[in-house]
């Protein structure tokens, strides 16, 4: 079964879990992976889907044993394990990385559809990632919407600044990539 067929079937079965209509496109995946370098000791990808972004991350030269994936959908996890046998795949929500992750991560790359989520769910995902990341490490987030994929309240709560890519029109639907970083002056309570 192709990635598109698998993705579409899972979208129909679990529309509240899978918000996109197709896997991330190659151009968007490359943009998301741009923050990853081969020297990084540990990287996490959350919402890994069928592995388009995973392939782009590994294409940047990161050894597969340094990549950890978190994906809720069991069918996607099976595909990821088959396709990337040397990568650690967790069939868990992103928030669980604080319990099983091998951080501190040099980067977290997120395909999780955060834009439509309530602030508290966004905060639990981002908070878990930040807890596992090295200070100042990038949190890379895809969005299909016209605004930042993390609410202003969540960005303020964690002291996040961001940069964004131009819109990637070749993606279905068109996407944009945001790179969030926590200010060095920010500290947790």
pLDDT digits (tens, 9 = 90+) for 5-22: 655 555 556 555 555 556
Residue 38 located in a structural domain: yes
**pLDDT confidence bin for 3, thresholds 50/70/90:** low
pTM of the model: 0.88
Q: How far apart are CA 133 and CA 16, in angstroms?
A: 28
pLDDT, residue 123, reads 97
Q: Is residue 188 part of a domain?
A: no
- pLDDT digits 0-9 by tens, 141-183: 999 999 999 999 999 999 999 999 999 999 988 999 999 999 8
Domain containing 24 equals 3-182
Question: How far is residue 69's CA from residue 101's CA, in Å, rounded to a whole number?
Answer: 10
Which residues face 174 on adjacent strands? none
Distance in Å from the first CA to the final CA of the chain: 48
Evaluate whether residue 189 is within a structural domain.
no
The whole-angstrom separation of Cα 52 and Cα 70 is: 14
pLDDT digits (tens, 9 = 90+) for 106-153: 999 999 989 889 999 999 999 999 999 999 999 999 999 999 999 999
Contact between 33 and 53 (Cβ < 8 Å)? yes
Going by C-beta distance under 8 Å and a sequence separation of 6 or more, which residues neighbour residue 120? none
Q: What is the pLDDT of residue 189?
A: 44
Instruction: Indicate the pLDDT class of residue 184, thresholds 50, 70 and 90.
Output: low
d(CA 125, CA 72): 13
Compute the half-sphere exposure of residue 80: CA atoms within 13 Å on the CB side of its CA.
Answer: 30
Q: Is the peptide bond before 104 cis (omega within 30 degrees of 0)?
A: yes
**What confidence score (pLDDT) does residue 6 get?**
54
Report the CATH number at residue 177: 3.40.50.150
Report the domain count for the chain. Answer: 1
Residue 187, in any domain of the structure: no
């Amino acid at each position: 079964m192709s990635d598109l067929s698998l993705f579409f079937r899972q979208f129909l079965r679990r529309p509240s879990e899978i918000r996109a209509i197709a896997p991330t496109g190659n151009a968007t995946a490359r943009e998301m992976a741009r923050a990853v370098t081969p020297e990084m000791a540990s990287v996490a990808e959350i919402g890994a889907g069928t592995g388009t972004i995973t392939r782009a991350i590994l294409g940047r030269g990161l050894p597969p044993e340094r990549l950890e994936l978190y994906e809720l959908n069991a069918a996607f996890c099976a595909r990821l394990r088959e396709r990337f046998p040397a990568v650690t795949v967790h069939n868990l929500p992103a928030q669980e990385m604080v319990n099983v992750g091998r951080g501190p991560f040099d980067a977290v790359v997120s395909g999780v559809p955060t834009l439509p989520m309530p602030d508290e769910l966004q905060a639990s995902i981002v908070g878990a990632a930040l807890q596992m990341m090295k200070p100042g490490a990038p949190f890379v987030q895809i969005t299909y919407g016209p605004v930042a994929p993390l609410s202003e309240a969540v960005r303020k709560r964690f002291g996040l600044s961001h940069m964004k890519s131009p819109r990637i029109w070749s993606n279905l639907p068109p996407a944009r990539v945001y790179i969030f970083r926590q200010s060095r002056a920010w500290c947790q309570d």
